[in-house]
Amino acid sequence: MTGPRLTRSDKLLITRTRTALVGWFEDHGRDLPWRNLRASTFEKICVEVLLQRTRAETVAKIYDAFFTRFPGWAALARAEREELEAYLKPIGLWKRRAISIQGLAAYADTNDGVFPRDASKHAAIPGVGQYVSNAILLFQHGIARPLLDVNMARVLERVVRPRALADIRYDPWLQEAAAWLVKHDRPEIVNWAILDYAAAVCKARSPSCDHCRLRESCSWLKRELVRNDLISVLDAT
């Protein structure tokens, strides 16, 4: 059993959440180099490989040096592995990242930098899992796809309800919820907004609930308040 799929109530709540997040992002969104209008599609896709399991601020520190040395798919595809690893070492997991990003670059270099619009064809491309596939669809083809990671999942699950499956890639409710979230004329902004909100407010530990724009509809907060009240009663007895 994977639990109920996206309900009408879920959709209304997620739609309100989207509006609140986009409004918050206008004032509080992070100024990151790959969000600049000058950033190329190549840079935006590559960055999503670098961002996996790494803080955005950490990737931002190597951004200029990395893309100065590797300005396109060809430069990445033909780089010596040891040199590529040296550029990636400051952000960690450099051997694994080098393999992933160079496999991706090798495909792009032989296909004029164009990836398939059909996501079902991405599985055959080295370095492309669900997350990078969605980044390709979003940034190269303009298709509204979610950059669903544990941070986006945390906000959605706290505001609406927890997923049923441990792996976010396979939970049908969470996948549908994330897809509904980014139904917007600027889906990249919605993606960036929820990821920034997860980093600044709806943190995994010690979330800033007192300053949260989503607190009135947050299911997680309501459960926490009930739990804390129960603990207080038990402590008093």
More confident residue, 228 or 232: 228
226 located within any domain: no
Per-residue model confidence as pLDDT tens digits over 70-110: 999 999 999 999 999 999 999 999 999 999 999 999 999 99
Can you tell me the distance from the alpha carbon of 140 to that of 136, in angstroms, rounded to the nearest whole number?
5
pTM exceeds 0.75 for this model: yes
Domain assignment present for residue 62? The answer is yes
Within a domain: 100: yes
| DSSP letter for each residue of the chain | -------HHHHHHHHHHHHHHHHHHHHH----GGGSTT--HHHHHHHHHHHTTS-HHHHHHHHHHHHHH--SHHHHHTS-HHHHHHHHGGGS-HHHHHHHHHHHHHHHHTTTT---SSGGGGGGSTT--HHHHHHHHHHTT--------HHHHHHHHHHT---SSSSTTT-HHHHHHHHHHT-SSSHHHHHHHHHHHHHHTS-SSS--GGG-TTGGG-HHHHHHHHHHHHHHHHHH-
What does the pLDDT look like over 135-171, one tens digit per residue?
999 999 999 999 999 999 999 999 999 999 999 999 9
In a domain, 151, yes or no: yes
**In this structure, what CATH number is given to the domain that contains residue 190?**
1.10.340.30
Task: Give the pLDDT score at 217.
Answer: 87
Give how many domains the chain has, as a whole number.
1
Per-residue confidence band for 236, with pLDDT thresholds at 50, 70 and 90: low
- Residue 231: inside a domain: no
pLDDT at 231 over 60: no
Has residue 2 been placed in a domain? Answer: no
Within a domain: residue 228? no
- Which range marks the domain in which residue 149 is found? 8-210
Average pLDDT of every residue of the chain:
93
